[in-house]
Amino acid sequence: MDAGGKKGGVKSDINVTPLVDIVLVLLIIFIVITPAVNDSVSLPHAKHSPKVEKNQGEKYLQITFQAKPNGKGGYEAGNVTTDDAKAKDAVYRIYDDASRQKFIDSVTASTQALSYRRVFVKADRNLPYAAVDKLFQACREGGADEASIVTAEIKETTSTEGGK
């Protein structure tokens, strides 16, 4: 046969099998590593004074919203209390419709006597955003013009090394 025969020529096709293997291995590595990286990232918390800044002679309603463990490693909405003297021992649940309505009525009664209807909320940082939003909506339904979150200041701990 000729050197340039019909069936025995050089093929110039690219073999993509090794490329696909490498891409699949990299994909598996990224899938395994991504959750570990996300869990290790810690965002700084807001650093504010836990004391509510009040203008001279003005009164505000202060609400405390607690989180409770849900048994799955997370947290859910817990009890809501106010600093109103009339509702001093009252405990509200934001997801229970009857209790939520009592909370709205309490906010309405408390804010009607105020010159500026501002509500301060001390909420646990473990609360889901949806629960805090539902509390804010209830405050608005109760006649509050403004709702603000009050956070606690995180104290920096310093350690001294070397035996002084």
What is the tens place of the pLDDT at every residue in 65-117? 888 887 887 778 888 888 776 666 788 888 888 888 888 888 888 878 777 77
Higher pLDDT, 156 or 52: 156
Say if 96 falls within a structural domain.
yes
CATH code (residue 104):
3.30.420
Domain count, the chain: 1
**Average pLDDT, integer, range 11-17:** 85
Residue 121 has pLDDT above 60, yes or no: yes
CA 37 to chain centre: 19
pLDDT at 49: 47
Among 103, 113, 115, 85, CA closest to 140: 103
Under a CB-based contact definition with an 8 Å cutoff, are residues 64 and 81 in contact? yes
DSSP letter at 41 equals -
Radius of gyration of the chain (CA): 30
pLDDT band at 164 (very low <50, low <70, confident <90, very high): very low
Say if 105 falls within a structural domain.
yes
Say if 20 falls within a structural domain.
no
Residue 158 has pLDDT above 70, yes or no: no
Say if 54 falls within a structural domain.
no
Say if 157 falls within a structural domain.
no
How confident is the prediction for the chain on average, in pLDDT?
A: 75
Say if 69 falls within a structural domain.
yes
For residue 107, give its domain range: 61-149
pLDDT band at 28 (very low <50, low <70, confident <90, very high): very high
